Structure 1
Amino acid sequence: MTLGARIAWDDTVLPFQLDIPDIRGRVARLDGVLDDLLSQHDYPPLVESLVAEVALITALIGESVKLRWKLSVQVRGDGPVRILAADYYAPEEPGGRARMRAWASYDAERLNTVADAFGQIGKGYFAVLIDQGEGTHPYQGITPLAGGSLAACASTYFAQSEQLPTRFSLAWGREEAEDDIRAGGVMLQHMPKASPFAKGDATNADGLLRAEDLVAPNEDAAEDWRRVNILLDSVEVDELVGPEVAPTDLLVRLFHEENPRVFDPQAIRFGCSCSADKVRQSLSIYSAKDIGHMTTEEGIVTADCQFCGAHYEFAPETLGFEATDPPRDE
């Protein structure tokens, strides 16, 4: 693969469809985006891997949201890794690039850096939120953490909340020649029109539906689902992460007998939505007394964006619902 071809597929999500089993999917490759969002923080490798995984999941799910919509994935647990959060901002106009950001909160003193990464989250929930813009109520779906990985949690979310059989295969790693982290993944999902059978019974002890439960009532659908999952199981880490194997070549390698058909890829870049105005808005519910408690010895109020690390400073009299001075450039 040429350098130009490699760059062309970096930071993209490629939608595709397998016509024979009526299954759709997406291939994601994150390179510069992942470097940008991870470079904002000094995460331990264990936390870094979880951020990469939640970013991949968010990119794969987010590609389907409409223009100007926002999709968020949030994972919260009672373990050392308390929060994993990623936001996907759909393009502002057709053909534009989507934006992504991600962040993790963890307790460094409790973190067991040699233990299983997913186990460091503990008990909690996996949530997907979709914001359709002003004048609408955000959609939110929540499922318990289950399955041993964030990819399994995402699959359970779609089975339990959306009644859609879904599978994720994800990988990430650093290139030896460069201190550069790359990630890639494939998402498979049964087309909604092919899912009248999506009323299965949970067969797991936790009572949560899985993809296999949804397709079980329909023998043809169950066989199609088993077949494409066996094919996906054959994928190698290097094929998922790249950069030597283009997503189009990967689809041909895995699913050539299923007639894969690709659509226009969606380009992604790192981007944060924070601003001084949004910080002021978030503080507008506080009184002057409350703002006083937030004021530093230097007589200012400071705020840092958890996602991008941007630092903001404000004069306290410009904040809260009792502000006496109009906002000015700080």
Structure 2
Amino acid sequence: MTLGQKIAWDDTILPFQLDNADIRGRVARLDGVLDGILKQHDYPAPVEALVAEMALLTALIGQTIKLRWKLSLQVQSKGPVRMIATDYFAPEVEGEPARIRAYASFDRDRITDSTPYSHIGEGYFAVLIDQGKGSEPYQGITALAEGGLSACAESYFDQSEQLPTRFALSFGKSTETDSAEHWRAGGVMLQHMPQMSPYHVQDDTGENGVSGMADIVDEDDEENWDRVNMLLDTVDDLELIGPSVAPTDLLVRLFHEEMPRVFDLQAVRFGCTCSEERVRNSLSIYSAKDIARMTTDEGIVTADCQFCGAHYRLDPKTLGFESEQAPGDDA
């Protein structure tokens, strides 16, 4: 295995289908994406692990949907970790990488050495799909489940979409020889696609990319699903994370009797869509009095992006629907 091969597997999502079982899936490997997400913040170790897991789920789920714009996952909780928010932006041009960003809001004084998921209390797991202008955003919510964030995602698909779904995930800090310690994550997503489902064909999705149709599973389908899940149970952490096992080799090892068929590899990168224009647009609904309340003693309005850490300093005279002058106007 060469270094070039290792790089080719990192930060990618590989779609596949098991032709003998009417099941589709994804294999994801994240490396630089997690570095891009986590280096923006000084997260305690349990929070880092939760953000890494959420980013991995976002990559796997986002690539299953025929997106024109954005998939968002959110966890809202009463625990020490109050919120985790992630976004998956579909490629603007075919062949380009998708982009992922993520951040967490938490109470540092309540973070302990206990397991990461124990820092999330009562709350909900949400899936939001926005296809952009001209479409109605979709939102689905389910209560947080025991067992971790992947269990929450499985519960969402089972309860809200009636689509049997399974995740096998692994993530942590890599300590490879001749390489600085850094985060890696890898996982497999399986989803049952009965013949009558609009998802049975890879590119055939509903308007919002999520089916509301009841998912009817007959005895043969249930047997296929149970068999493939038993095979997935044999996977180990090193196979999921890599870097010594290629995603295609992993599929052959796990599912060779199910006739795995792979599709084009999707690259994914860390990326944020924040900009000064977007900040100005978000402030355009405020009056001059509101803008004055936001103005600092230095006579400016500041805004920070929670995802990438970008810091914006704006002239209050150019903000709000009662602005006195346009941006860049020195008059």
Shared fold, TM over 0.5? yes
What secondary structure does 1:286 align onto?
Answer: coil
Question: Which residue of structure 1 aligns with residue 316 of structure 2?
Answer: 316
Cα distance in 1 for partners of 2:253, 2:196 equals 25
What does residue range 72-151 of structure 1 map to in structure 2 within 5 Å?
72-112=72-112, 114-151=113-150
What secondary structure does 1:74 align onto?
Answer: strand
Question: Which residue of structure 1 aligns with residue 171 of structure 2?
Answer: 172
What amino acid is the match of 1:117?
P
What secondary structure does 2:100 align onto?
Answer: strand
What secondary structure does 2:132 align onto?
Answer: coil
Cα distance in 1 for partners of 2:145, 2:328 equals 48
What amino acid is the match of 2:50?
L
Cα distance in 2 for partners of 1:308, 1:235 equals 34
Alpha carbons 2:194, 2:221 under 8 Å: kept: no
Q: Over aligned residues, Cα RMSD in angstroms? A: 1.8
Cα distance in 2 for partners of 1:23, 1:293 equals 55
Question: Which residue of structure 1 aligns with residue 188 of structure 2?
Answer: 186
Cα distance in 2 for partners of 1:195, 1:99 equals 28
What secondary structure does 2:186 align onto?
Answer: strand
Cα distance in 2 for partners of 1:10, 1:26 equals 14
Alignment CA distance shift 1:194-1:2 (3 Å): farther
Alpha carbons 2:22, 2:194 under 8 Å: kept: no
Alignment CA distance shift 1:324-1:161 (3 Å): same
What secondary structure does 1:82 align onto?
Answer: strand
Shift of 1:194: 5.6
What secondary structure does 2:61 align onto?
Answer: helix
What amino acid is the match of 2:249?
D
Cα distance in 1 for partners of 2:329, 2:98 equals 29
Question: Which residue of structure 1 aligns with residue 210 of structure 2?
Answer: none
Alpha carbons 2:67, 2:131 under 8 Å: kept: no
Cα distance in 2 for partners of 1:66, 1:277 equals 28
Question: Which residue of structure 1 aligns with residue 233 of structure 2?
Answer: 233
Cα distance in 2 for partners of 1:323, 1:192 equals 56
TM-score, normalised to structure 2, is 0.91
Cα distance in 1 for partners of 2:42, 2:305 equals 15
Alpha carbons 2:73, 2:86 under 8 Å: kept: yes
Shift of 1:224: 1.2
What amino acid is the match of 1:147?
E
% same residue: 67
Shift of 1:67: 5.2
Shift of 1:195: 6.0
Cα distance in 1 for partners of 2:196, 2:15 equals 18
Question: Which residue of structure 2 aligns with residue 70 of structure 1?
Answer: 70
Cα distance in 2 for partners of 1:73, 1:95 equals 24
What amino acid is the match of 1:181?
W
Cα distance in 1 for partners of 2:47, 2:264 equals 32
What amino acid is the match of 1:84?
I
TM-score, normalised to structure 1, is 0.91
Cα distance in 1 for partners of 2:128, 2:173 equals 30
- Deviation string 1:278-328 (CA, Å, 9 cap, x unpaired) is 111111111111111111111101000000000000011111111111012
Cα distance in 1 for partners of 2:224, 2:106 equals 41
Question: Which residue of structure 2 aligns with residue 304 of structure 1?
Answer: 304
Name the count of aligned residue pairs: 312
Indicate the larger mover: 31-40 or 175-184: 175-184
Cα distance in 2 for partners of 1:255, 1:317 equals 62
Question: Which residue of structure 2 aligns with residue 200 of structure 1?
Answer: none
Alignment CA distance shift 1:194-1:256 (3 Å): farther
Alpha carbons 1:119, 1:148 under 8 Å: kept: no
Cα distance in 1 for partners of 2:254, 2:328 equals 57
